[in-house]
Amino acid sequence: MTTATEARSGKSHRDENFPVASHLIHPRHRGAILAFYDFVRAGDDVADNGGLPPERKVALLDGLAAALAGRGPDDPEAAPLRAALAARGLPPRHALELLDAFRMDARKSRYATWDELIHYCRYSAMPVGRFVLDVHGEDPAVTWGPSDAVCAALQIVNHLQDCGKDFRQLDRVYLPQDALDAHGASVAMLGAERAPPPLRAAIAALARRSLDLLEEGRALPDLIDDTRLSLEIAAIHRLAVVLARGLTERDPLSEPVHHGKAAFALVALRGVAACLARRPFRRRLHPVLRGARP
């Protein structure tokens, strides 16, 4: 019987579209973030495994949850994160919420509305940002709101980039049906080699909604006390804006949306430089910080 370890895809944090615990993050925090990523990657690989029936996927995800929370047998995929959480006195809440998203993936392959997609992002994306902020000791009252907006945008940008692959390989469609209907597009169009104009229009509209979310979370780097984390988030935010803008113009079914490594590094550096330039003035720029802890 397949285990969570046997279901692993081999994908690592280096294969993600956005940086995960880059060297901008202080070494004392990288281990916990990477342990979180590895646990979440194991759950995601279970949900995406085409050889497992939905009920087996859910059983494996339940086993990961029980092992992480200390309610069931140990699992090698859960042990490193459980140790990292114990060392910092953090609860498993955020990782368990991500497992809820993977249970959704095991049982659900279509989304009717934008609000339904955002509900999915509440469990599939927002807990990631919240965990990273908690590891750094950031104030949830100040940072969670804009972080949620940024994380939802990152998730949707990833969905848009991978929409053809998700449909062909997993029969999974994250583009809401109401967005497709609004432009006369259909799910079947995702199987084409090139996106027909109605599908291109639907993807562009969703990319613009992602840009709205990124604008909602634009202040996040300035609201973060840890300078190294603020620079990491600034780089990610800038990369996401560039990708979302690209998706308003490019066809993810037939052409790459990502730029090359050198171009992406330049975009990230610009985000970092702009954040550093604002850093001395952040309390003046954001009144919410005046009442925050020093």
- Structurally, the chain folds into a number of domains equal to 2
Contact 31, 25 (CB under 8 A): no
Q: Residue 23 is which amino acid?
A: H
Estimate to the nearest angstrom the gap between the alpha carbon of 173 and the chain centroid: 17
Pair 83, 120 in one domain: no
Q: Are 251 and 266 contacting, i.e. CB atoms less than 8 angstroms apart? A: no
Does a structural domain hold residue 52?
yes
Q: What is the pLDDT of residue 285?
A: 84
Distance CA 252, CA 93 (A): 34
Do 202 and 87 belong to one domain?
Answer: no
71 & 114 share domain:
no
Record the pTM: 0.91
- CATH number, position 190: 1.10.600.10
Residues 6+ apart with CB under 8 A from 115: none
Q: Is residue 17 part of a domain?
A: no
Which residues span the domain enclosing 119? 109-291
pLDDT at 15: 47
Reported as half-sphere exposure (CB side, CA atoms, 13 A), residue 7 has a value of 28
Q: Are residues 75 and 113 in the same domain?
A: no
Looking at residue 267, its pLDDT comes to 85
The pLDDT assigned to 289 comes to 83
Instruction: Kindly state whether residues 39 and 157 are assigned to the same domain.
Output: no
Give every CB contact of residue 158 below 8 A, 6+ residues apart in sequence.
17
Burial class (CB in 10 A: 0-12, 13-18, 19+), 66: middle
**pLDDT at residue 292, as a whole number:** 54
DSSP letter for 128, please: H
pLDDT of residue 19: 59
Is the domain of 154 the same as that of 230? yes
Same structural domain, 81 and 32: yes
Closest by CA to 81, choosing from 138, 42, 48, is 42
Q: What is the mean pLDDT of each run of 10 residues along the chain (294 residues)?
A: 71 56 85 95 94 95 96 90 96 97 96 98 98 96 97 97 95 98 98 97 98 97 95 94 95 85 82 91 83 53
Q: How far apart are CA 60 and CA 63, in angstroms?
A: 5
**Unique residue bearing structure tokens 């990124």:** 214
- Both 89 and 131 in one domain: the answer is no
